[in-house]
C-alpha cells in the first residue's frame, strides 16, 4: 500500500488521545474502509492490525477504578505483534500509528492503549496465532469532548528538539520537518523516549530515559519512525528504513 503522505502528515497535528466516547457507532462504510487499511498496511513483518466492529465485552480498564479508563467506545482496533519476529515492536508502533492517523484523517477519535486493557478479553474478539500477542488496542469512535478530563494541557506538552537531538544539526528542510513531526508523536505516559542522531543523509532513532513503565519504548520509537518519514516525504525526500538493535531502533536514509 502507498502511504497517503500528505493526508497522514496533516493528521499529525489534529490527533490527540480521546478516552471518553459517545455511543454513536461509526458507519459500516467507514468501518469497511478502516478495515481495508488494516489489511493492506503491512509495512514490516511482525505486526498486524485487526478492526473489532462489535466487541464481545469491555476490553478497557482503569488505573484505579475509572481513572484513565477508555469509556463507551463502540469499536476498537487491536495491534497484534508476532513476538518471534525481530523488531516486531518497532513494526507495531509504525503500523499502529498509520491506522491511527488514517482514522484521524476521517474525523474519528483514537487513543493508543498498551497498559490499561485486558488482552484476555481482546483475544475473545481476535484470533491470534502461535507466537502472537495483542500488544495494544485503540478505541475507535467519536469523542464525548465535554467529558474528556484527561485531555489536559500537560498531556500535550512536548520536549524541545534541543533535548531530543544527540548529534548533528537541523540544517536542511527535510530534517526539520521530520523531527518536528516526530516531536508531536504520542508515547506511553507522554515520555517521549526518542533521541535522534542526524547525519548527512540519515536520521537514526534510538531511545533514552530510565523508567520503562512496563511498555516498550521501542513501540514509541516505531510511532516516531512513521512521523519522521511523513515529515521527510512531505518535503519530497524519499528514503528507506533499516531496523537496528537496541538501544538504537531504526535509521531513515534518504536517497536523493
Ligand atoms: C504506546 C502507547 C501506549 C499508551 N498506553 C496508554 C494507556 O494504557 N492508557 C492511556 O490512557 N493512554 C495511553 N497512551 C496515551 C498517552 O498517554 C498519550 O499518547 C500521551 O500522553 C500524549 O498525549 P496525546 O496522545 O493526546 O498527544 C499510550 C500512548 C502510546 C503511544
Out of 114, 147, 180, pick the residue that ends a domain.
147
| 143 shares a domain with 39 | yes
| 135 shares a domain with 191 | no
Looking up residue 199, the CATH number of its domain turns out to be 3.40.109.30
Among 21, 109, 103, 107, CA closest to 70: 21
Cell digits of residue 235: 518535503
Looking up residue 73, the CATH number of its domain turns out to be 3.40.109.10
Cell digits of residue 195: 533521541
Q: Is residue 245 part of a domain?
A: yes
Among 181, 186, 220, which residue has the most ligand 1 atoms within 8 Å of its CB, making it the best to mutate?
186
What confidence score (pLDDT) does residue 146 get?
A: 66
Q: Is residue 106 part of a domain?
A: yes
Low-confidence winner among 90-99, 109-118, 120-129, 145-154 (lowest mean pLDDT):
145-154
| 238 shares a domain with 127 | no
Out of 97, 122, 147, pick the residue that ends a domain.
147
Measure 112 CA to ligand 1 centroid, in angstroms. 5
Out of 92, 114, 147, pick the residue that ends a domain.
147
Indicate if the pLDDT at residue 154 is higher than 90: no
| 129 shares a domain with 99 | yes
| 137 shares a domain with 25 | yes
Buried b or exposed e, range 210-248, using 16+ CB within 10 angstroms: eeeeebbbbbbbbbbbbbbbbbbbbeebebebebeeeeb
| Ligand 1 and 223: CB distance under 6 A | yes
C-alpha–C-alpha distance, residues 144 and 19, integer Å: 8
pLDDT, tens digit (0-9, with 9 covering 90-100), for 73-118: 999 999 999 999 999 999 999 999 999 999 999 999 999 999 999 9
* Residues in contact with 251: Cβ distance below 8 Å, sequence separation at least 6, in sequence order: 202, 203, 204, 205, 241, 242, 244
- 3-class DSSP assignment, residue 207: strand
Q: Is residue 152 part of a domain?
A: no
Beta bridge partners of 82: 132
Q: Is residue 117 part of a domain?
A: yes
| 162 shares a domain with 127 | no
| 96 shares a domain with 170 | no
CB 205 within 8 A of CB 93: no
| 221 shares a domain with 134 | no
| Ligand 1 and 59: CB distance under 6 A | no
| 95 shares a domain with 34 | yes
For residue 115, the ligand 1 atom closest to its alpha carbon is 8
Q: Count of domains in the chain?
A: 2
Q: Is residue 195 part of a domain?
A: yes
| 74 shares a domain with 30 | yes
| 173 shares a domain with 142 | no
For residue 216, the ligand 1 atom closest to its alpha carbon is 1
CA atoms within 13 A on the CB side of 111: 26
For the segment 153-166, the average pLDDT, to the nearest whole number, is: 87
In terms of residue numbers, what domain contains 92?
5-147
| 206 shares a domain with 143 | no
What confidence score (pLDDT) does residue 78 get?
A: 98
Amino acid at each position: 500500500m502507498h502511504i497517503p503522505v500528505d493526508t497522514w502528515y496533516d493528521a499529525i497535528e489534529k490527533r490527540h488521545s480521546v478516552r471518553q466516547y459517545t455511543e454513536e457507532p461509526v458507519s459500516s462504510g467507514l468501518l469497511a474502509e478502516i478495515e481495508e487499511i488494516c489489511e493492506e498496511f503491512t509495512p514490516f513483518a511482525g505486526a498486524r492490525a485487526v478492526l473489532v466492529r462489535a466487541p464481545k465485552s469491555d476490553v478497557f480498564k482503569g488505573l484505579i477504578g475509572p481513572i484513565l479508563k477508555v469509556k463507551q467506545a463502540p469499536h476498537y482496533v487491536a495491534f497484534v505483534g508476532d513476538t518471534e519476529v525481530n523488531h516486531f515492536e518497532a513494526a507495531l508502533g509504525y503500523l499502529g500509528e498509520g491506522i491511527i492517523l488514517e482514522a484521524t484523517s476521517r474525523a474519528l477519535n483514537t487513543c493508543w492503549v498498551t497498559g490499561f486493557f485486558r488482552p484476555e478479553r481482546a483475544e475473545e474478539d481476535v484470533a491470534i496465532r502461535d507466537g502472537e500477542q495483542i500488544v495494544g488496542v485503540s478505541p475507535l469512535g467519536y469523542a464525548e469532548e465535554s467529558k474528556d478530563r484527561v485531555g489536559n494541557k500537560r498531556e500535550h506538552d512536548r520536549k524541545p528538539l534541543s533535548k531530543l537531538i544527540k548529534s548533528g544539526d537541523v540544517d536542511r528542510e527535510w530534517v526539520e520537518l521530520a523531527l518536528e513531526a516526530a516531536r508531536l508523536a504520542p508515547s506511553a505516559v507522554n515520555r517521549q523516549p526518542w533521541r535522534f542522531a542526524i547525519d548527512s543523509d540519515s536520521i537514526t532513532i534510538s531511545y533514552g530515559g530510565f523508567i520503562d513503565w512496563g511498555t516498550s519504548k521501542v513501540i514509541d520509537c516505531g510511532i516516531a519512525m512513521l512521523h519522521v518519514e511523513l515529515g521527510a516525504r512531505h518535503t519530497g525526500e524519499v528514503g528507506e528504513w533499516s531496523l537496528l538493535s537496541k538501544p538504537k531502533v531504526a535509521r531513515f536514509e534518504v536517497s536523493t
